Amino acid sequence: MCGIVGYSGPQNPKDVIMGGLKSLEYRGYDSAGVAILHKGEFKRVRAEGKLSILQEKLINEPFDGHLGIGHTRWATHGAPVERNAHPHTVKGVSIVHNGIIENYLELREELARDAKARGQVIRFESETDTELVAHLIAYQLEITKGLLESVLKILPRLNGAFSILVVSKDHPDEMIAFKNGPPLIIGQAKGAVVVASDVQAILPHTNKVVYIDDFEIAHVKGESFRIYNSKGEPIVKPVVEIDWSADRVEKEGYPHFMLKEIFEQPRAVARALAPHIDVAKQTVSLSGTGITDAQWARVERVLIVACGTSNYAGMVGKYLIEIMARVPVETDIASEFRYRQPVMGADTLAIVISQSGETADTLAVLRQLKTLGVPSLSVCNVKNSTIDREADGHLYMNSGTEIGVASTKAFTSTIALMNVLALQIAKAKGRLSPEDEARYVNALLAAPAQMETVLACDKFFAAAADVLKNYKGFLYMGRGVSYPLALEGALKLKELAYMHAEGYAAGEMKHGPLALIDKRMAVVMLAPSDNLYEKTLSNLEEAKARGGVIIALGTVGNERLRGISQSYLTLPRAEWNVNPLLEAVPLQLLAYHVASALGHDVDQPRNLAKSVTVE
């Protein structure tokens, strides 16, 4: 949530900051702003709406200085209007902030009281919690005169999650960066320093970075920086060399990143599987992930925790692990798990899934599990993200950068990894015969090519979207491994098309959702030919009998299903464990095309953000 960038160096800060913000726009896009040194002052330019609006405003704005900060916002406190956009400036102190200051009202009252005692009145220009921090620092600066000293003074007073950059006109070659919670990374480039919420914004300048930890403070002066602990003592931090260059973030001819990412899925799934499969031997192995063979064999219970789309990938994992490895699996959404006083032990392996590796609730769960002594394995797309760094073991989606806010290729890559995990646990427990292992491995190896064929649904949904967009709602149904896919299909439509959609276990339909069905309700039925196919078919008949408009996804050659449905889309014949990978593609395309037909911004849906670093 919110992207922040700071730059101190010889280039025009406007170009570096705007370039950085562009790669951070996935974190929030309701308003944006910069404060850059010009004629001894930090000139502030802000705009409501997408970054492109700020970009236009900046075209003819000159800046003669070499220090600046920028922000792209996902509103928490205060409407997404210009006066609430960052930076917030108080008496020459400008700050950008990602997160929430939970005790801001209390601090605000305290500040107002102190000011009154001095015969002053504090005026707030915005409804944000951020402006308060600018006031606190400006007030401290009057006393201490030092920027670092002022931040050290106020830092213990702040509760909540925050990463903040501060500049001041009285210290025109200094910048302070500090955090508790959301990520903040600092890079040392040649003669320049770049600070940002995500390494993507730094990589065009340097791959040598330092990850600032909670309650540490980076003090940038000119072209270099030092890190201090919360007591103000200098500390030495490891410099991490990022081994990947800035990913290409271009649409490559596609109208949207999301469509490009949907089409990238066969490759992404192959990349996720590659490190763990021995093609010649037809075996899987999860060595080198940080979990030892003995630990795999000791697993008596698995817990999978995540948010949003990652949670649904985790639910697929539950079916796979329980069926293949016969180990009980519990799944939960992180925001619930963290407050329900869970009962866990060391025989549990906790799998935390987060493509960004920064989701606040998922990170909180990981930290909680550590205190309970539960070993953890992270499944992330972003290497060196906080969750990746803090977990005991690590698995990577290897999907490449995902720009579309609604996750697609990270989802299918995670499902591929859930398969590998299930096979690994089954093997470690002595519950997988070499024949079954080879069968599952071959099914997985065939999946990318099969996904390729399902991409042909693109044409169908592109043509059907104009009709589909007029339904009053969508009901998605499936059983077994297809049930989490029904939930994910509904989520995608909600996220992108802003339409009412619900995902349901098909067998549960008669306990409520059947009442919703009439001729204005589209029913998306996931009915691959697996062991639950006949049961799913009965549920489909029930929906049809109530007048629902049936869109069915079924295995090729299934004429019975074709007969029942208004629209029938075929999936290639596959093992049951691969069906979710195939089903994901048409569900994503349906949401994408309906949203496009409605004229929505599919890459940046309203009110959402890709990296949710607040609770």
The site for ligand G6P (CB under 6 A) is made up of 307-310, 354-356, 359, 362, 405-407, 608, 610, 612
Q: Which two tokens stand for residue 4?
A: 């922040």
Q: Which is nearer to ligand G6P, 112 or 608 (CB)?
A: 608
Give dist(CA 323, CA 418) in Å, integer.
Answer: 12
Q: Which is nearer to ligand G6P, 352 or 550 (CB)?
A: 352
87 prior amide bond cis, ω within 30: yes
CB of residue 201 vs ligand G6P: minimum separation in angstroms? 17
Q: Do residues 297 and 428 touch, judged by C-beta distance below 8 A? A: yes
- CA distances 28 to 5, 76, 238, 607, Å, are 13, 11, 30, 8
Residue 610 catalytic? Answer: yes
Give dist(CA 611, CA 24) in Å, integer.
Answer: 10
Q: Which two tokens stand for residue 137?
A: 């620092």
Q: Which is nearer to ligand G6P, 310 or 376 (CB)?
A: 310
**Nearest CA among 127, 34, 122 for reference residue 86:** 34
Give dist(CA 457, CA 459) in Å, integer.
Answer: 5
Q: Do residues 97 and 2 touch, judged by C-beta distance below 8 A? A: yes
Q: Which is nearer to ligand G6P, 348 or 611 (CB)?
A: 611
Place of tokens 């004229």: 599
Sign of CA dihedral 149, 151, 154, 157: negative
Q: Which is nearer to ligand G6P, 176 or 305 (CB)?
A: 305
- Which residue is closest to ligand G6P by CB? 308
CB of residue 442 vs ligand G6P: minimum separation in angstroms? 29
Give dist(CA 152, CA 232) in Å, integer.
Answer: 7
CB of residue 24 vs ligand G6P: minimum separation in angstroms? 14
CB of residue 383 vs ligand G6P: minimum separation in angstroms? 13
Q: Which is nearer to ligand G6P, 184 or 313 (CB)?
A: 313
CB of residue 306 vs ligand G6P: minimum separation in angstroms? 6
The order of strands in the sheet holding 160-168 is 88-90, 93-101, 160-168, 171-180, 217-221, 224-228, 234-235
CB of residue 378 vs ligand G6P: minimum separation in angstroms? 10
- Candidates 2, 307, 380, 457; catalytic one: 2
Q: Which is nearer to ligand G6P, 31 or 588 (CB)?
A: 588
CB of residue 611 vs ligand G6P: minimum separation in angstroms? 6
- Candidates 179, 318, 544, 610; catalytic one: 610
Q: Do residues 614 and 76 touch, judged by C-beta distance below 8 A? A: yes
Would you list the DSSP string of 350-366?
Answer: EEEEESSS--HHHHHHH
**Nearest CA among 485, 486, 468 for reference residue 477:** 486
**Nearest CA among 584, 291, 280 for reference residue 413:** 584
Element (H, E) at 504: strand 501-505
CB of residue 32 vs ligand G6P: minimum separation in angstroms? 19
CB of residue 165 vs ligand G6P: minimum separation in angstroms? 23
Q: Which is nearer to ligand G6P, 382 or 578 (CB)?
A: 382
- State how beta strands 521-527 and 501-505 pair: unpaired
CB of residue 495 vs ligand G6P: minimum separation in angstroms? 7
Give dist(CA 130, CA 77) in Å, integer.
Answer: 9
Q: Do residues 132 and 107 touch, judged by C-beta distance below 8 A? A: yes
**Maximum distance among all alpha carbons in the chain?**
83
Q: Do residues 196 and 4 touch, judged by C-beta distance below 8 A? A: yes
Q: Which is nearer to ligand G6P, 150 or 407 (CB)?
A: 407
Would you list the DSSP string of 436-478?
Answer: HHHHHHHHHHHHHHHHHHHTTHHHHHHHHHHHHTTSSEEEEEE
Q: Which is nearer to ligand G6P, 133 or 382 (CB)?
A: 382
**Nearest CA among 561, 408, 578, 552 for reference residue 478:** 552
**Nearest CA among 200, 601, 609, 603 for reference residue 381:** 200
Question: Which residue numbers are catalytic?
Answer: 2, 610
